[in-house]
Structure 1
Amino acid sequence: MSATTSDRSNADEQRFRDALRGLPRRVWIISLGNLVLQVGSFLPVFIVLYVTQRGHSVGAAGFVLGASGLGRVLGNVIGGYLTDTIGRRWSILLSVVVTAGLTATVPFIGPLPLIIGVVGLIGVMSAIYRPAMAAVLVDSVTSPQQRLAAFGVLRFAQNIGSTLGGMLGGVVATISYTGLFLLEAAALLVFGMIAAVLLRGDAALPKADADTTETAAGRGVGYRQVLSDRTLVRFLLMTVFSMFAYIQTSVGLPLHVNDVGLTPRDFGFLMALNGLLVVLLELPITSVMSRYRPEHVLAIANLLTCVGLALSGFSSGMVLLAALVVMWTFGEMAYSSIVQAHLASLTPPGMVGRYQGAYGAAYAVGTGAGPVIGGALYAFAPWLLWTLVGVLGLVCAQLSLRLRPPAATAEEPST
């Protein structure tokens, strides 16, 4: 590496650190709220166990999960629209208050069709706040480095919250499922209070952005116009395919680990290795990734994730599987560190909510279709699933390389 390249890399890293230290108050508020949410996010994890414990079949639990997944797709779309019309703060409050009320009713519902309906509504309402949170971050920062830092902090809070929530949920579930869902409702209301109190009185959008938002709303800009953006369509396809592949860490990989004679404890170790790497290294990885063009980072990240998972499906030894976990985890961290921040650079003024909502819907489609299609492919021929995952890595890399913003700013890296 030349001295010039080294100096530029050090300058980029220092600029990222400066951006991290200089993040505005709103970023930390949203990240704190997200941590609280993730600590108390029990229903998506424990709803299958709860339904089967109530005496319903595994197939019935699958219907409940399906309703939740479809709800999240719709909720992201609705959330994107509301974020751009009624505003970020009100979208968050509507989402968390209604979700809290619905979640608190779950333990007291008897008939299965009613459980399916309520969980589906929870899926819708709980997804509405996600585009709004992303929009708050985008509104609060001005440079690509700050966007990366802001979303990096949000992800770090989410990872910590998910880790703590998994441990806490397991303890509470052994005592009472009613307490579990009431605790989640309480966490949602805490986040709502954080948004209601701490986001009040903060600086509004710059006048130019506010005027653009009003103009867009006035001329009826909707998702049809959003989806006419070919770059966004490529971004959404990449998201669906990459999430389909990544969700195999929870579907195909545990099935494969069992089929090669390893134990649930071995699979737990592999997942613990993944979680530890993410918590310790994702924020530093974000700093490193800030030196490079985001479309290149996404291409390499998709290859690492998909090829690492595909190779896992043809491996049997614990040492090799652990090494491949490291490989696809680095791909996961590189992807997650940059994906929403890069989407913000592709977004026209006044349409942040709709673009982030479309991303959230694509994410939900990929993670929802992955278990169904992936499970069916694995049952038919495991090698077919892992081959598909590898091919999707190549497709996602190709799509990623075509995700350059219309006009790169001088602040963006050129590596």
Structure 2
Amino acid sequence: MLVALVANPRIRRLVKETVGGLPREFWWLWVSTLVNKLGAFVVTFLALYLTTDRGYSASYAGLVASLFGLGSAIAALGAGVLADRIGRRPTLVAAQLGTAVSTAVLGFMDGQVAIAVVAFLVGLCNNATRPPTSAIIADLVPAEDRVRAYSLNYWAINIGFGLSAAVAGLIAVHGYLTLFVLDALTTLVCAVVIFIRVPETRPQEAEPGADRNAAEPRIGLLTVFRDAPFMAVVGLNLLLALVFQQGSTTLAVDMGASGITSTEYGLVIGLNGLLIVVLQIPLTRWMEGRSRTGLLIASCLFAGWGFGLAALAGSSAWLFALSVVVWTVGEILNAPTTMGLVAELAPTHGRGRYQGVYSLSWSLASFLGPAAGGLLLDRSGPGTLWLVCGLCGTAAALGHVALGRRTGGAERVGTDSVTEVAAPAAEAGKAPAPEKSPEKAPAGA
């Protein structure tokens, strides 16, 4: 049957349209991402390790998680700057080597202070991989293929996380130290793959004697923060990211309080990863040629009111499952679309910084979201929490409506046109508009 599917001309055409036309270097980066997430055991099981294996309190585990998030927030900006200054590949390789070493060390740490400090370093190094990875994709892949490339990369992340979560539970039975060591080893393998197979993609320096200021406009972090259209996108993403954070925190608490068993919770929340693996590619193909602004509006409404549906679930695991299905569709629509937009907004010589600031919105959400959601759940109850999630999704959707009107909102996903959102910043002298086709590094460089 598998042979018949492969031989089917229509299936072969669909596969070619989905994965074809992307640079070889992108696929090495994709493999590295998949391997890295397949071994990403520690982040997923850190709280469980601290409370069950080491016997620390839940409040201490929360403190460690916050320090991990603080490290991630610092890394988002620092790695973005380094990716532009010293290059994408050295920043990514250094971050992966740092993650491998700090993860292995964390497995041997004892004492609350030592564990907290090393967890901060793990968060710092782990999140430092995001800005250079996103910048490499933007450098390698033409504008018309970026949403597809980011979708494929996001697909690899979710395949890896889904499988690692399932396998980690079995490995942990034989000792949590094995999880730390395997996580470190897989990250080390990724660093080697990047070093050998992925070339430096940072735009070339100005030729000797050339007008350096004309060839390479100075782009600092202040330039990024003053880019109003881009920061509007970051702010809207932060609002939506705060909603998504409830999926791994307050949703579990509410389901447990409603009488949902841990087995049922695992099956319900597992739908998120399963649906992303199954639907990411088909939905990405459906998104091609459609209005980016329209997709972002729809994604915000699906995400916000997907969580909002949890207010009606009561003690029904089926209704909670329906809620997960709806907000997962929003996640699938939002992630690659927003990442493609950020890549196009970023000027060529500032992609690392722009991706770093965008990554900062997710880090801040992981730091603030669980605390804000937990406080709202305790003080006002689940109904209010899920209603607020719906309202946040609606506010983000209205924000994209306003942003789309300001910039014309006519850009389409999967075309070779560069979004017009960058134009106001360029006209104001804040940053140059991105080029239509970014420079590509020669193979094997």
TM-score by length of 2: 0.83
Once the two structures are TM-superposed, the CA of residue 286 in structure 1 deviates from its matched residue by 1.1
Q: Which amino acid aligns with 1:251?
A: T
| Mean CA deviation greater in 309-318 or 374-383 | 309-318
- In structure 1, distance between residues paired with 2:214 and 2:55: 50
2:245 alignment counterpart: 247
Answer yes or no: is 1:281 the counterpart of 2:279.
yes
Identity %: 28
CA distance in 2, matches of 1:119, 1:80: 21
Q: Report the equivalent of 1:150.
A: 149
CA distance in 1 between counterparts of 2:364 and 2:57 reads 24
Deviations 1:122-141 (A, max 9, x none): 11111111111111111111
* Offset, 1:38: 0.4
- Structure 2 partner of 1:258: 256
Aligned match of 1:411 in 406, 410, 416? Answer: 416
8 Å contact kept, 1:16–1:287: no
State the distance in 2 between where 1:277 and 1:175 align: 30
Q: Which residue of 1 aligns with 2:188?
A: 189
Cross-structure match for 1:92: 92
CA contact 1:298–1:334 (8 Å) conserved in 2: yes
Give the 5 Å matches for 1:335-414. 335-382=334-381, 383-404=383-404, 411-412=416-417
Query: 2:102 matched to which residue of 1?
Result: 102
Give the counterpart letter for 1:34 in structure 2.
Answer: T
TM-fit CA distance, 1:143: 2.7
Is the 2:77–2:357 Cα contact (8 Å) retained in structure 1? yes
1:116 aligns with 2:121: no
Structure 2 letter corresponding to 1:348: P
How many Å apart are 1:258 and its aligned residue? 2.1
Closer, same or farther: CA 95–314 of 1 in aligned 2, 3 Å: same
Please report how far the alpha carbon of residue 19 of structure 1 lies from its aligned counterpart in structure 2 after TM superposition. 6.7
The worse-fitting range, judged by mean Cα deviation, of 41-50 and 31-40 is 41-50
Unaligned runs of 5+ in 2: 1-12, 420-445
CA offsets per residue over residues 68-124 of structure 1, 9 Å max, x none? 001001111111001111111101111011121111111222121111111101111
Aligned to 2:313: 315
Matching residue's letter, 2:95:
S
Match of 2:83 in 1: 83
Rounded Cα–Cα distance in structure 2 between residues aligned with 1:15 and 1:204? 32
Shift of 1:321: 2.7
Q: Can you list the C-alpha shifts for 1:310-364, whole angstroms capped at 9, x where unaligned?
A: 1212322333332222211111111123111111121122111111111111111
Partners of 1:347 and 1:355 within 8 A in 2:
yes
CA-to-partner distance for each residue in 1:41-66, whole Å, 9 max, x for gaps?
12211111222221221111111111
Instruction: Give the CA deviation at 1:261.
Output: 2.4
- With over 3 angstroms needed to count, the CA separation of the structure-2 counterparts of 1:219 and 1:142, relative to structure 1, is closer
Contact 1:216 1:350 in 2 (8 A): no
Match of 1:10 in 2: none
Answer yes or no: is 1:306 the counterpart of 2:311. Answer: no
Please give the alpha-carbon distance, in whole angstroms, between the structure 2 residues aligned to 1:239 and 1:216.
Answer: 32
Does the aligned pair in 1 maintain the 2:143–2:418 contact within 8 Å?
A: no
Code of the residue aligned with 1:182 in structure 2: it is V
Deviation sequence 1:246-278 (CA, Å, 0-9, x none): 111122222222232222222222112222211
Does the Cα contact within 8 Å between 2:136 and 2:201 map onto a contact in 1?
A: no
Distance 1:262 1:203, change over 3 A: closer
Q: Which amino acid aligns with 1:411?
A: D
Distance 1:217 1:77, change over 3 A: farther
Equivalent position amino acid for 1:370 in 2: G
Per the alignment, residue 54 of structure 2 pairs with 54
Given residue 390 of structure 1, which amino acid in structure 2 is its aligned partner?
G
**CA–CA distance in structure 2, aligned partners of residues 301 and 377 of structure 1:** 24
Note the residue ranges of structure 1 that are not aligned, 5 or more in a row. Answer: 1-13
Q: Secondary structure at the match of 1:350?
A: helix
CA-to-partner distance for each residue in 1:133-161, whole Å, 9 max, x for gaps? 111111111232x1011111101111111
Kept in 2, the 8 Å contact 1:231–1:402? The answer is no
- Match for residue 9 of structure 1? none
- Is the counterpart of residue 127 in structure 1 residue 132 in structure 2? no
Helix, strand or coil at the partner of 1:351: helix
Say yes or no: does 1:67 pair with 2:67. Answer: yes
Q: Match of 2:70, SS?
A: helix
Cα offset, 1:171, TM superposition: 1.6
Q: CA–CA distance in 2 between the matches of 1:153 and 1:287?
A: 11
Where does residue 329 of structure 1 map in the other structure? 328
Alpha-carbon distance change, 184 to 15 in structure 1, aligned in 2, over 3 angstroms = closer
Out of 253-262 and 239-248, give the one that drifted further: 253-262
Task: Give 1:208 deviation, angstroms.
Answer: 8.3
The TM-score normalised by the length of structure 1 is 0.89
Q: Secondary structure at the match of 2:241?
A: helix
1:203–1:102 Cα change, 3 Å: closer
Q: Partner amino acid for 1:107? A: G
Structure-2 residue corresponding to 1:171? 170
Alignment size in residue pairs: 397
CA RMSD of aligned residues (A): 2.7
Whichever residue aligns with residue 361 of structure 1, its letter is L
